[in-house]
Amino acid sequence: MKKNYLLAPGPVQIPPEILLEMARPIIHHRTPEFEKRFKDVQDLLKELFQTNNPVITFSSSGTGAMEAAIVNTHSPGDQVLVVENGKFSERLTLISKAYGLDAHVLSVPSGEAVDPQKIKATLAENPQFSSVMLEYSETSTGTMNDIEAISKIVSASNALLIVDAITALGVVNIPCDKWKLDVVIGGSQKSLMLPPGLSFLWLSEKAWAKALKSTLPKFYFDIHEERKALEKNTTAWTPAISLINGLYVALDMMSSFGWKNLFQKNQQLMEAVHNGVSALGLKLFSKSPSVSVTAVCVPEGLDGNILVDKLKDEQGITIAGGQSELKGKIFRIGTLGWIDDGDILVFFGALEKVLLQMGYSFTPGSSLKAVQEALLKNA
C-alpha cells in the first residue's frame, strides 16, 4: 500500500502517458512512420535547445554524449581547460585524458561555482586552449555555474565552450544560439522525464567547423554520420525506438506546457525547497545553488546515509545521498522533470518524520508552512 516517490536528481518519475507510449508495440526504424516521428522529435528538440542547428540523439547514457562532445571537436594533443567543481566535471577530464588530450584543470572548491573572471584570465594567459569544458549544473554538489557570463568570455576567444547540461537542459532557460554556446550535452532521464538511454548533442557553427578538422578516432559517436542520417530523418545506427517514441510525448508535453512556464515552475520549486530547508535550520551545501537539485548539509551528529535510507525504506521516498567524500554529509533532492508542488510537500512531510526519529529538533510543520509560502507566491 506504500506510495513511492522518486525525487532524485535523475532518473526522475515518468508520466504514465510516456510509460504507455513506450509500451506500445514496437515499429521498425527504417520506415516512414519512424522517420515522421523522428522529424517531429527534431523540431521539438530545436525548441528545447533554442536553435536552428541540428540536435543529435545518441542511444547511450549521458556519458556517451560527453565522450561524443570531446572526441568530435578535438585532435590528438589539443590543450583543453576543464573547470572542475565536482564529480561530473571530473569526468570531462577523465574522458579528455583517455583520448590523449592535454587537460588542464581549473579547480574550484566543492559547492562553489567558477568565477567567470578566472576563466577570462586563464584564457588570456593560455590562448592555446582549444576548448573550455564545464558543468552547467554540477549534480554532485547542487551547484550551478553562470554559463551566460562564461559564454560571453569564451565566445570572444578561439576556444570552444563545451557545456555538460545533462541536469540543466529543460530546467532553466538555455538559449544555445543566442548565448553563443558551442557544444551542449543533454540526457533523457532528467528534465525530459524519460528512462535513461538517450543522450543529446548540440553544436554551434564554430563547433561544427572544428568538428570537420577533428582527427580523434570515433565511430559510434561520430557526429558526421549522424548529421548525414538526420537529413533523412533517421539515425546512423539502430536507435532506441521505444525511448524515441517516449521522447516525442515528453517534448510535446513540455512544449504544450510552455518552456517559460516550465522554467518558472522549476525555479519556484527550488525556492520552496530552500524555504523548507531553512525553516528546519538546515544549510544548503552550495554557495551557487542549482535550480535542478538542492544539496542540503546533514546536521552535525546525524548520519546522512541513515537519513537517506530511512526516507527510502520507511517513507518510500528516493532521494540521493552524497557521493565520494560527501557520502553521509549531504543529501540531494531533485526539482527537475515531472515533479510538482505536492511532491515537495510530501518530501518535507517525510523529512520531518525522519528528522524527528533521528533526534533532530525543530518546530514540527515549520518546513511545510515555509514551503507553502513559496508555492503560493505566484498562485
Q: Which residues here bind a second copy, judged by CB under 8 A? A: 4, 6, 8, 10-14, 19-20, 22-31, 58-64, 67, 94-95, 98-100, 187, 189, 195-197, 216-222, 237-243, 312, 318, 320
Please, what is the minimum distance in Å from the beta carbon of residue 218 to a second copy?
7
Number of Cβ atoms within 10 Å of the Cβ of 143? 28
Could you tell me if 201 and 185 are in contact, meaning their C-beta atoms sit under 8 angstroms apart? yes
Please, what is the minimum distance in Å from the beta carbon of residue 338 to a second copy?
11
Residue closer to a second copy (CB basis): 303 or 309 = 309
Could you tell me if 230 and 201 are in contact, meaning their C-beta atoms sit under 8 angstroms apart? no
Residue closer to a second copy (CB basis): 142 or 195 = 195
Please, what is the minimum distance in Å from the beta carbon of residue 306 to a second copy?
15
AA identity, residue 153: I
Give the three cell numbers for residue 201: 548533442
Residue closer to a second copy (CB basis): 151 or 189 = 189
Please, what is the minimum distance in Å from the beta carbon of residue 105 to a second copy?
17
Please, what is the minimum distance in Å from the beta carbon of residue 53 to a second copy?
23
Q: Is 202 helix (H, G, I), strand (E, B) or coil?
A: strand
**CA atoms of 323 and 309, how far apart (whole Å):** 14
Could you tell me if 277 and 367 are in contact, meaning their C-beta atoms sit under 8 angstroms apart? yes
Residue closer to a second copy (CB basis): 97 or 287 = 97
Query: Angle of helix 341-357 relative to helix 259-279, nearest 10 degrees?
Result: 20
Q: How far is CA 223 from CA 1, 82, 311, in A?
A: 47, 22, 42
Please, what is the minimum distance in Å from the beta carbon of residue 7 to a second copy?
10
Give the three cell numbers for residue 203: 553544436
**CA atoms of 305 and 298, how far apart (whole Å):** 9
Please, what is the minimum distance in Å from the beta carbon of residue 375 to a second copy?
24
Residue closer to a second copy (CB basis): 220 or 263 = 220
**CA atoms of 46 and 40, how far apart (whole Å):** 10
Residue closer to a second copy (CB basis): 58 or 179 = 58
Residue closer to a second copy (CB basis): 6 or 350 = 6
Please, what is the minimum distance in Å from the beta carbon of residue 188 to a second copy?
9
**CA atoms of 204 and 73, how far apart (whole Å):** 11
Question: Using H for helix, E for strand and C for coil, what is the string for 233-288?
Answer: CCCCCCCCHHHHHHHHHHHHHHHHHCHHHHHHHHHHHHHHHHHHHHHCCCCECCCC
Nearest to residue 266, comparing CAs of 340, 377, 343? 340
Residue closer to a second copy (CB basis): 7 or 114 = 7
